[in-house]
Amino acid sequence: MAKAAKTEHAKKEAAPAAKAGAEKDVDFFEKIMSLAKRRGFFYPAAEIHTPIAGFWSFGPLGTAMKHRIENLWRDAFIKEEGYYEVEGSNILPASVFVASGHLAGFTDPLVQCKRCHAMHRADKLIEKAAGVFVPERTPAAEVDKIVADNKIKCPDCEGTLDKTRMFNMMFEVNIGATEPRETAYLRPETCQINFIDFANVYRAMRPKLPFGIAQIGRSFRNEISPRQGLLRQREFTQAEMEVFFNPAEKAFARFAELKDYKLNVQRVGADKVEHITAAELVKKGIVKYELIAYYLAKIQRFVNGLGIPLEKIRLREQDPKERPFYAESAFDCEVQTAFGWVEVAANHYRTDYDLGAHAKATGKDLTAMLDSGEKIIPHVWEISEGIDRTMFCVLMQAYTDDKARGWEWLRLEPKAAPYAAAVFPLVSKDGLEEKAREVHAALAKCFDVLFDKPGSIGKRYARADEVGIPFCVTIDYDTLEDGTVTIRDRNTVKQRRVKIDELQASLWNLVFCGAEFEKIGKPVK
């Protein structure tokens, strides 16, 4: 995921439109954050101590939901494709980031106010105050010139700004006990592992092009102004895949599966989305390879499958000047939220830049062999999903403040919910609790299932709705007689009666196969 430099256009959209709207958004944000903390989704890391901004901790519900999203991504992008998952270290030697260009270029231009000492992102200030876009890697002296030419002052106190300094966003870590210690960095993106381990994976697995190396793990960035809950953190989870391919090969074997899928593409300079099939995307030359159209379709379908409606998803083509320097083309998969369009997955055509750079720096052979016997440095299509951001967008979309029902609840897709079901005994006596624990234990072999006992059934339904549990299973006195239980649908609050023997299969069909609730079991008498 590149350091996002939004265009003027995107910025305008992301800003709250009017004051009333902004207040509503703040209120909405507070409600989500309150629910997240109260019910154990997430809260600031080390909250009982002195938390540092930009670090979060996931509670049981958040961990379960995060793992659900990670596993859905793993299924879609790694397992379904037959690609390879790797897991590298978070700490990497400096030499990796010399070669990748991060040590020189993974920087933000910072200016400090001489009067109030507030620190600002110079590019953001300039864009806001003068409407000038400052591309990545603009030298500090040029930034200073723009500040001077436009007479830009501190937005907090109108003070004079000091000279720009380029601030590297990587966290440095020193290894060993004897001086000089070895300098290493916490990785600012997971994907460098996918490049530097390329030769090891290629030799071990002997794949033909195209193939993918993917990783789900933490990344670390010393953001100046972490904000908006999980949207801009200093430590976050990425799911990144590099698809290595032969740039001479325009066709892609699996393309037929998604060629008629309609993508929401917003082209550079366009102010709205076009609905265009993957096949047309290639035919019109908007993308150069079938493989790119396929994975753009796949990422849109993935985000949509998590419960984000199609009309709130767009694949925004990046302007050449906002693209990372290594990218030949780039599409941000964005989701419309109360805070404007939020990037949830970056998609970059990185060419052979990274493998080439690591090969050059190390002298190692990072080529793949074609059927012809020719060796090439493969080109790379990268999919970089921000897992926490995706989860936060899914939560915002699912949040429902239901006046009629009387409580707030989460309309989460069953497969993305932290628990597939909750199991309740109607009361805790007469053997109902024991029976409920039995049912819970059987379901727990296949699903994440909550057992909840205290309180009235109504209160337990409300609590389950609030965390988005799609189905509640209640064990009552009839259960002991006829071996059936009630199952309640969160969205409609309707109930059906299902035999315990069939419960596991019914729940599987509901959660993973989109079965209709009305066709499960029998109506409640």
Tell me the window of 1-9, 80-88, 337-345, 502-510 that interacts with a second copy (CB under 8 A): 80-88
- 57 touches a second copy by CB under 8 A: yes
What residues does 208 pair with on adjacent strands? none
Shortest separation between residue 306's beta carbon and a second copy, angstroms: 19
**Could you say which of 1, 32, 69, 110 contacts a second copy (CB under 8 A)?**
110
**Could you say which of 24, 114, 117, 494 contacts a second copy (CB under 8 A)?**
117
Find out whether 409 and 383 touch, Cβ atoms under 8 Å: no
**Residue whose CB is less far from a second copy, 184 or 265:** 184
One-character DSSP codes across 105-172 = H-EEEEEEBTTT--EEEHHHHHHHHH-----TT--HHHHHHHHHHTT---TTT-PPB---EEEE-SPE
* 57 contacts: CB under 8 Å, gap ≥ 6: 42, 43, 44, 45, 46, 47
Residue 210: asked if its preceding bond is cis (omega within 30°), the reply is yes
- 112 touches a second copy by CB under 8 A: yes
SS3 17: coil
Query: Which run of H or of E encompasses 256?
Result: helix 255-258
Tell me the window of 257-265, 359-367, 424-432, 488-496 that interacts with a second copy (CB under 8 A): 359-367
Shortest separation between residue 373's beta carbon and a second copy, angstroms: 15
Which two tokens mark 457?
A: 């059934």
**Residue whose CB is less far from a second copy, 257 or 274:** 257
Sheet holding 165-168, edge to edge: 119-121, 107-112, 165-168
Q: Which of residues 213-242 bind a second copy (CB under 8 A)?
A: 218, 220, 222, 224, 234-235
Tell me the window of 53-61, 126-134, 311-319, 428-436 that interacts with a second copy (CB under 8 A): 53-61
Number of residues that bind a second copy (CB under 8 A): 83
Shortest separation between residue 200's beta carbon and a second copy, angstroms: 5
Tell me the window of 2-10, 20-28, 109-117, 142-150 that interacts with a second copy (CB under 8 A): 109-117
**Residue whose CB is less far from a second copy, 63 or 491:** 63
- 429 touches a second copy by CB under 8 A: no
SS3 510: helix
- 184 touches a second copy by CB under 8 A: yes
* 450 contacts: CB under 8 Å, gap ≥ 6: 419, 421, 422, 423, 464, 469
**Residue whose CB is less far from a second copy, 49 or 151:** 49
**Residue whose CB is less far from a second copy, 168 or 491:** 168
**Rg of the chain taking only CA atoms, in angstroms:** 26
- 407 touches a second copy by CB under 8 A: no
- 91 touches a second copy by CB under 8 A: yes
Cα 170 from Cα 100, distance rounded (Å): 13
Cα 251 from Cα 399, distance rounded (Å): 42
* 26 contacts: CB under 8 Å, gap ≥ 6: none
Q: Which of residues 188-217 bind a second copy (CB under 8 A)?
A: 193, 196-197, 199-201, 203-206
- 243 touches a second copy by CB under 8 A: no
Shortest separation between residue 390's beta carbon and a second copy, angstroms: 15
How far, in Å, are 205, 267, 311, 315 from residue 274 at the CA level? Answer: 40, 8, 11, 10
**Residue whose CB is less far from a second copy, 110 or 333:** 110
Shortest separation between residue 502's beta carbon and a second copy, angstroms: 18
Shortest separation between residue 149's beta carbon and a second copy, angstroms: 25
Tell me the window of 239-247, 362-370, 378-386, 392-400 that interacts with a second copy (CB under 8 A): 362-370
For the chain, what's the residue count? Answer: 525
Cα 231 from Cα 322, distance rounded (Å): 20
**Could you say which of 4, 14, 33, 45 contacts a second copy (CB under 8 A)?**
45
To which residue do tokens 């609590």 refer? 463
Find out whether 126 and 138 touch, Cβ atoms under 8 Å: no
SS3 407: strand
To which residue do tokens 């009552």 refer? 476
Which is it for strands 340-351 and 329-337: parallel, antiparallel or unpaired? antiparallel
Find out whether 242 and 77 touch, Cβ atoms under 8 Å: no
Tell me the window of 78-86, 285-293, 368-376, 394-402 that interacts with a second copy (CB under 8 A): 78-86
**Residue whose CB is less far from a second copy, 10 or 78:** 78
**Residue whose CB is less far from a second copy, 237 or 397:** 237
Cβ count near 8 (within 10 Å): 13
Q: Which of residues 447-466 bind a second copy (CB under 8 A)?
A: 448, 451, 454
Tell me the window of 111-119, 278-286, 296-304, 397-405 that interacts with a second copy (CB under 8 A): 111-119
**Could you say which of 32, 99, 287, 436 contacts a second copy (CB under 8 A)?**
99
Q: Which of residues 120-179 bind a second copy (CB under 8 A)?
A: 167, 171-178
Which candidate, 252, 210, 208, 245, places its Cα nearest to that of 371? 208
- 438 touches a second copy by CB under 8 A: no
**Could you say which of 6, 56, 308, 415 contacts a second copy (CB under 8 A)?**
56
Q: Helix/strand/coil (H, E, C) string of 298-321?
A: HHHHHHHHCCCCHHHEEEEECCCC
**Residue whose CB is less far from a second copy, 39 or 389:** 39
